[in-house]
């Protein structure tokens, strides 16, 4: 029997969270917080609503982006190049707003 889409997404998120905890036990969130996205089922709340709130918390905590970043080792030289490229992109975007017509 195939799993419903929302249940499959929930199980996928739980699996990814377990992989993060398995690969890095001392992980604190990207902004120094915990990596725990916890939601409690409210009265008269459907599973879909609960899953939507959980997904939003995971997104806001940056757990999945942190997982993708740590999925494969990145050499320090590559990390520096990516950081410099991001800085260049950000500065070029912010310079467009400084022109006055």
* C-alpha neighbours within 13 Å on the C-beta side of residue 68: 5
Predicted local distance difference test score (pLDDT) of residue 41: 86
Listed by start position, the domains of the chain span 5-74
Q: How far is CA 36 from CA 21, 27, 63, in A?
A: 10, 10, 9
Which residues in the chain come in under a pLDDT of 50? Answer: 1, 3, 20-29
């Amino acid at each position: 029997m195939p799993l419903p889409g929302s249940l499959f997404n929930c199980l996928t998120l739980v699996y990814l969270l377990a992989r993060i905890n398995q690969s890095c036990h001392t992980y604190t969130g990207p902004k120094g917080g915990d990596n725990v996205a916890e939601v409690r089922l409210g009265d008269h709340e459907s599973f879909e609503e609960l899953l939507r709130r959980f997904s939003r918390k995971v997104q806001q905590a940056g757990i999945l982006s942190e997982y993708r970043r740590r999925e494969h080792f990145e050499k320090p030289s590559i990390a520096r190049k990516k950081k410099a490229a991001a800085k260049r992109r950000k500065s070029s975007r912010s310079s467009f707003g400084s022109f006055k017509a």
